[in-house]
Structure 1
Amino acid sequence: MMQHTALFYVILAIILLDSVWGFFLDALNSKNWAQEVPDRLKDVFSEEQFKKQKAYRKVNYQFGILSSLFSLLVLLALLWFNGFAFIHEWLKGYTESWLWLPLLFFGLIGLGTTIVSLPFSVYETFVIEQKFDFNKTTPVLFFSDILKSLLLGGIIGGLLLGLFIWFYGWAGTRFWLYAWAVTALFMLFFGKFYSSVILPLFNKLKPLDDGELRKAIETMSRNTGFTLENIFVMDGSKRSTKSNAFFSGFGKNKKIVLFDTLIDELTNDEIVAVLAHEIGHNKLKHTIRGTILGILQSGLTLFLLGWFINYPAVSQALGVDEPTFHIGLLGFGLLYTPVSGVIGLAMTLLSRRQEYQADAFAARYCKAEALQSALKKISASALSNPTPHPWYVFFHYSHPPLLERLSALDKFC
């Protein structure tokens, strides 16, 4: 066995510290129990529902600890016993192609990750979600989704990775500039056409029928100065009873997508308020700013990758003597964890601020009480935690906690 290097122990420390911090925040949040239903939620949370919410949180916390700990142990074992170097050498016995070796390496890692996580996914879906009356997925649909995701990930990921490898062979460490350009184009394409190209592979979309709801949505949309023709209903109920709505695309590809469960759960006024919130994100430029920030973040990541990719110590830390693109990329990904954490925290802080702004926008064009009522119903039906720990919120929540959103909306009532 190859002797571990100093950088290997740095990588190990980063992984362990990140995991311990995550476990600590999860533990804090799991113990932040409210003894009774908050006054503002008594109209949607019965005592029985509140007890069910606590039980759901407890089961998910215990399951999350188990699955995270298992994933951590697998990763540590692969690192300690030079598992990634073994996979690299094993594949070299079949090909040393500059293109196929890294593609097969990451393909095998991705397939292995899916297989290892599969029992946990099955348990979560067909035991936990089933127990709390959320799951509507059949085994056939469940495994069909996995196969589609693997195929889609293989095609898109393989194409992007293949281009990155080609750029690396052609431009050396400056490959990151060309990789960044391709990444930016892909993000723009994905943002514009996701609901037209990717989403229909998994769900059926149908135009919202003419009627009072559509008329109310179109009226609200015109009042906000937002031209909207594409309002679709998605068959979310074939997988889960949980509900949602989202805005997708830009330009002529703008779409509002409603889960069918949302239509069944909320009144027309509440649905209009939820969609006003989503339109607010677009009108306030949150969507395009998010895309720009994502592109800038990818540029920073790729710049740092270009700097580190040929650094021999990165590959050697994973047990490979000579700098290799795919081993260097993997090592960099592990070393990048602290940077990713800081950027992620900044993005969650920004996201929470934008959620407040979108709520305020919606309150100007519809009834604030309707948005409050919708938020409460969605949260209660999903058994969401109404009293998360402040630290957990600070580091993990992309949306403000429910009670804080309701309080912020009070001034518009």
Structure 2
Amino acid sequence: MSDISIAFIALIAVNFGIKLWLNFRQASHVARHCALVPVAFNDAITLEAHQKAAAYTLAKTRLANVGLVIDTSWLLLLSLGGGINLIYVAAAGLTGQPTGLLTGLCFLLALGVLSSIVDLPLSLYKQFVLEERFGFNRMTPGLFITDLLRNALVSLVIALPLLSLILWLLDLATPLSWLWAWMGWMAFNALLLFIYPVVIAPLFNKFTPMPESEHKQKLDALLSRCGFSAAGLFVMDGSRRSAHANAYFTGFGNNRRIVLFDTLISQLSPEQLEAVLAHEIGHYQRKHLQKRLVLMAGVSLVLLWTLFQLLNAPWFYADLGVDYANPATALALFSLTMPLCLLPLTPLSNALSRKHEYEADAYAAEHSNAQQLIAALVTMYRENAATLTPDAMYSLFHDSHPPAALRVQHLAQLQA
């Protein structure tokens, strides 16, 4: 076994150890603080609701540990275990071509299908056992299968042209192939962001314009006051699948819209809903989507350049257990191994996301009502069984939103 192979195994072990350690910290911290509701939430959340959130968090953490073992085993099986070789040989046998674009596409498609099959048992357990146990599941087996098939079809339609372009450009191996691949990747993402709200999302959920009412008029007045023009306010039938509630801002240009889950509307008062809407507008006004796109552009540029440098590096294939050196196997290996290297950067990404959440909260406090947003957040924490006492280190790596206590404290300071 080469030094690089040993280093690769060590990298996997370190990632596994860090993630397991973080999960252990989270479980221990939540369990230690489940007997008392944090003082800041005493008036709004009962001990029963707090303990339900703790039990839900512990159950999800245990499931995450199982998922971690499965994912790590799958990575080792595909790389050093020779799995990529077996899949590639099967793809080449199917196409009758030892190399080429068609063989590469078949290989990547087969790898994606097999990875989805590996993930399926845990997805089924999470949806129909864990979520059911805590009263959140509203999905039927039929809808689960329908979603699975639709996801597969949409992924196929999206992935085939993009992968074809990237594999073709990488196969050309010109000095600027990586740059052209990056430009294609960014153009594709811009197109996807534009069409997602009106083409892809409606394949899975029903989106209806918020019906006219006095409350709707107040929300429209808020939009006008904040200078936000969009395709409209839409209500999504999230209750078909889950009792969880949320709201989000999506799209750009003429397809820009704000989406409210029907479960959220049923849980919040009109004043609280207005504060949540102001928060979503804050993301738009502070240009958070554009900033994330710029960050993604920079990261993807570096990653594609790195992939291009590894294309003709024999050690990248041989020392990671792959016998076939070509753009398709390089892309697969890179996609499987790069998350291991990027783990230390996760807190930085989450820190930026949290900064954006604080900025959107500040915008909502200025243009709506901080106290109503606090009330809305507390209601969402309670109804979604979100833990109020996450471990700080775990939160750095896993939470894109600030912990409940810090977020409420920040809003209270803005109100003062």
> 1:329-388 deviations in whole A, cap 9, x for unaligned?
223334423542244332211111111111000000111110000000001111111011
Determine the C-alpha separation between the residues in 2 that align with 1:6 and 1:334: 20
Tell me which residue corresponds to 1:169: 171
Match of 1:219 in 2: 221
Give the distance between the partners of 1:333 and 1:218, measured in 2 at CA: 44
**% identical equivalent positions:** 33
| Counterpart position of 2:19 | 22
Deviation at 1:290, TM superposition (A): 1.0
1:155-201 deviation per Cα after TM superposition (whole angstroms, max 9, x unaligned): 21121111111112334453211111111111111222211111001
Cα RMSD (Å) of the superposition? 1.6
Greater Cα offset, 401-410 or 50-59: 50-59
- Number of the residue aligned with 2:91: 91
Query: 1:31 aligns to what SS in structure 2?
Result: helix
Aligned to 2:183: 181
Tell me which amino acid in the other structure corresponds to 1:137: M
Q: Look up the match of 1:237.
A: 239
Once residues 103 and 170 of structure 1 are traced to their aligned partners in structure 2, the CA distance between those partners, rounded to angstroms, is: 16
Name the stretch that deviates more: 256-265 or 40-49. 40-49
Task: Identify the residue that residue 297 of structure 1 maps to in structure 2.
Answer: 299
**Does the CA contact (< 8 Å) of 1:179 and 1:302 recur in 2?**
yes
Q: Which amino acid is the alignment partner of residue 74 of structure 1?
A: W
- Paired residue secondary structure (2:137): coil
* Residue in structure 2 matching 1:337, options 329, 336, 339: 339
1:399 positional shift: 0.7
The residue number in structure 1 matching 2:4 is 7
Where do 1:343-382 residues align within 5 Å? 343-382=345-384
Alignment TM-score, normalising by the size of structure 2 = 0.94
What's the TM-score once normalised by structure 1's chain length? 0.95
User: What is residue 208 of structure 2 aligned with on the other side?
Assistant: 206
SS in structure 1 of the partner of residue 79 of structure 2:
helix
Letter in 2 for 1:65: N
Q: Where in structure 2 are there 5+ consecutive unaligned residues?
A: none
Aligned-pair CA distance for 1:14: 1.6
Match of 1:326 in 2: 328
Q: CA deviation at 1:153?
A: 1.1
Aligned-partner Cα distance in 2 for 1:267–1:88: 56
User: How big is the shift at 1:212?
Assistant: 2.1
Q: Is the 8 A contact 1:173 1:306 kept in 2?
A: no
Query: In the TM superposition, what whole-angstrom CA distance separates every residue of 1:180-239 from its partner, at most 9, and x where no partner exists?
Result: 111111111122221111100100101000012211111111222222451110000000
Contact 1:310–1:328 (CA under 8 A) maintained in structure 2? no
Alignment-derived partner of residue 75 in structure 2: 75
Q: SS at the partner of 1:336? A: helix
Structure 1, gaps ≥5 residues long:
none
> How far apart in 2 are the matches of 1:229 and 1:74?
43
Q: What pairs up with 1:89-128 in 2 under 5 angstroms?
A: 89-94=89-94, 95-96=96-97, 97-128=99-130
What is the CA–CA distance in structure 2 between the aligned matches of 1:285 and 1:187, rounded to whole Å?
Answer: 17
Q: 1:390 aligns with which of 389, 392, 401?
A: 392
CA distance in 1, matches of 2:74, 2:342: 22
Deviates more, 1:250-259 or 1:317-326: 317-326
State the alpha-carbon separation in 2 of the partners of residues 306 and 229 from structure 1: 40
Question: How far apart, in 1, do the equivalents of 2:301 and 2:383 lie?
Answer: 40
Q: Equivalents in 2 of 1:336, 1:78: separation in Å?
A: 14
Q: Partner amino acid for 1:25?
A: L
Contact 1:218–1:228 (8 Å) recurs in 2: no
Q: Residues 315 and 324 of structure 1 are in contact (CA less than 8 Å); yes or no, is this contact kept in structure 2?
A: no
Name the aligned partner's letter for residue 244 of structure 1. N
2:188 is equivalent to residue 191 of structure 1: no
Contact in 2 for aligned 1:318/1:327 (Cα 8 Å): no
Which position in structure 2 is the counterpart of 1:36?
A: 36
Distance 1:335 1:199 in 2: 30
Residue 124 (structure 1) shift: 0.8
Q: Which amino acid aligns with 1:56?
A: Y
User: 1:269–1:370: 8 Å Cα contact kept in structure 2?
Assistant: yes
Query: How far apart are the structure 2 equivalents of 1:268 and 1:258?
Result: 13
- Secondary structure of 2:351's counterpart equals helix
* Separation (CA, whole Å) in 2 of partners of 1:25 and 1:358: 28
**169-178 or 145-154, larger mean C-alpha shift:** 169-178
| Amino acid across the alignment from 1:407 | Q
5 Å-filtered alignment, 1:128-167, equals: 128-167=130-169
Amino acid at match of 2:53: Q
Question: 2:85 touches 2:323 (CA, 8 Å); kept in 1?
Answer: no
Moved more, 245-254 or 198-207: 245-254
- Report which stretch shifted further, 329-338 or 33-42: 329-338
Q: Is the 8 A contact 1:231 1:255 kept in 2?
A: yes
Distance 1:231 1:305 in 2: 41
